[in-house]
């Protein structure tokens, strides 16, 4: 698959990347090599191969969801550097 310098410049613009002309030429060559390699992978016979998202089978080790008593509010707040009657007091970070 061929990719042009104009394609690379357009994608760079969309990605808000400022590429110099020499960088555009380098990227054109490198992306072209990647696409050529992908084209060779498309030649492989994948008939009967099950699509996967991971190379190895992955299973999650979930524990049973059981209800347990919550920590009392006073206990949770007792070591807080700043607190009010019901919550932690933290600095405002959004203007």
**Cα separation, 61 vs 77, whole angstroms:** 32
pLDDT of residue 53: 82
pLDDT of residue 15: 96
Contact 17, 27 (CB under 8 A): no
What backbone phi and psi angles, to 5 degrees, belong to 88?
-70, 145
What backbone phi and psi angles, to 5 degrees, belong to 78?
-65, -30
73 phi-psi bin (left φ>0, alpha ψ -120 to 50, beta other):
alpha
**Each residue's pLDDT tens digit, 3-60:** 999 999 999 999 999 999 999 999 999 999 999 999 998 889 989 888 888 888 888 8
Evaluated on CA atoms 11, 14, 17, 20, the torsion sign reads positive
**Each residue's pLDDT tens digit, 49-93:** 888 888 888 888 888 889 999 999 889 898 899 999 889 999 888
Q: Give me the CATH topology for the region 5-41.
A: Histone, subunit A (1.10.20)
- Locate the domains of the chain by residue range: 5-41
């Amino acid at each position: 698959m061929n990719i042009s310098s104009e394609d690379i410049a357009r994608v760079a613009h969309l990605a808000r990347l400022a590429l110099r002309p020499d960088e555009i030429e380098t990227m054109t060559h490198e992306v072209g090599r990647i696409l050529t390699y992908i084209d060779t992978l498309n030649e492989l016979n994948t008939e009967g191969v099950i699509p996967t998202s991971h190379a190895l089978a992955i299973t999650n080790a979930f524990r049973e969801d059981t209800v347990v008593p919550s920590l009392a509010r006073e206990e949770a707040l007792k070591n807080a550097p700043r607190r009010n009657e019901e919550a932690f007091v933290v600095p405002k970070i959004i203007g």
